[in-house]
Amino acid sequence: MEIQQKSNSRRKPDWLKIRLPQHSNYSEVHSIINRYKLNTICTSGKCPNLGECWDRGTATIMILGDICTRACKFCAVKTGKPEQVDTNEPKNVAESVKLLKLKHCVLTSVDRDDLPDKGAGIWHETVREIKLQNPQTTIETLIPDFDGDMQPVQKVIDAKPEVISHNLETVRRLTPQIRSRAKYDTSLSVIKYLSENGVISKSGIMVGLGETFDEVVETMDDLRAAGCRVFTIGQYLQPTPKHIEVQEYIHPDIFKKWEEIGLKKGFDFVESSPLVRSSYHAEKHVK
């Protein structure tokens, strides 16, 4: 049975109000990010939680540049021909993690379909360098699908991050309309490979793109069958007028129902609320 989940209007409802930054940590994080010329998904992805996370002195660092080889219809990251790989990036990122005093670091990247190894070498070196300079810092890596090639996936696994995440982004039916190049079953195969290799595997989707309540539940079943242990659900917010429009704003009560269903299905953690993003409160998922 489907549950009605539309609000009465596509105008942003009250539950999507975002708290503005108030504390000194925000300025400190911003300064360090600028000093080391780091890319963050916080800014490139126009994350609604930027203020809260930077206030807490945390950030999600995006490696391999800020230009993606794909053009997903939901994503605010620039697309085009990427610049040459910065071989100093692993050390710069590790030094910035030390300055930011991060207890838990989340790494993500643009897609680099232009590179023979899809960027896996920089992924590996960055995780290892962070661990070398920050032995007490735990790491989550939010990886691309690497076109379903498990050799680059294994290279990330070999660097030994505590959590490896790969997002499905949306339900099966909407994947061809929303994602560029990526396929639903390819993403599931990546998650299954991670799970079979003893990694804490994690994935997330956006809602409000036209999916049904039951399709979200079916996605949970697909992820659990692939061994996924952590699942995040958040409201899609249109980053610019050029991106796909929001079809509906989901009420927080529906997010709560999904959370309850997901926990009953056996996920270790389910983060489900309108402003949740895949890296939101990620430090909890290491446990």
CB-based burial, 201-232: b 16+ in 10 Å, e otherwise: bbbbbbbbbbbebebbbebbebbbebebbbbb
Average pLDDT of the segment spanning 258-278: 94
131 inside domain:
yes
Average pLDDT of the segment spanning 101-125: 94
Q: Which domain CATH number covers 242?
A: 3.20.20.70
Q: What is the pLDDT of residue 18?
A: 64
**For 203-231, what is each residue's pLDDT tens digit?**
999 999 999 999 999 999 999 999 999 99
Give the count of domains, the chain.
1
- The residue type found at 121 is G
Task: Tell me if 144 sits within 8 A of 124, measured CB to CB.
Answer: no
Cα separations (Å) of 283 from 10, 82, 104, 185, 251? 33, 30, 6, 28, 26
11 inside domain:
no
66 inside domain:
yes
The answer, yes or no, to whether residue 7 has pLDDT greater than 50, is no
pLDDT band at 50 (very low <50, low <70, confident <90, very high): low
Q: Supply the range of the domain harboring residue 88.
A: 18-286
272 SS3 class: strand
The answer, yes or no, to whether residue 22 has pLDDT greater than 80, is no
7 inside domain:
no
Sign of CA dihedral 60, 65, 66, 71: negative
| CA–CA separation, 94 and 200 (whole Å) | 22
13 inside domain:
no
The answer, yes or no, to whether residue 38 has pLDDT greater than 80, is no
133 inside domain:
yes
243 inside domain:
yes
pTM: 0.86
Task: Tell me if 162 sits within 8 A of 102, measured CB to CB.
Answer: no
List the one residue out of 58, 59, 51 whose CA is nearest residue 23: 51
pLDDT band at 44 (very low <50, low <70, confident <90, very high): very low
Cα separations (Å) of 73 from 168, 211, 272? 14, 15, 22
**For 123-170, what is each residue's pLDDT tens digit?**
999 999 999 999 999 999 999 999 999 999 999 999 999 999 999 999
12 inside domain:
no
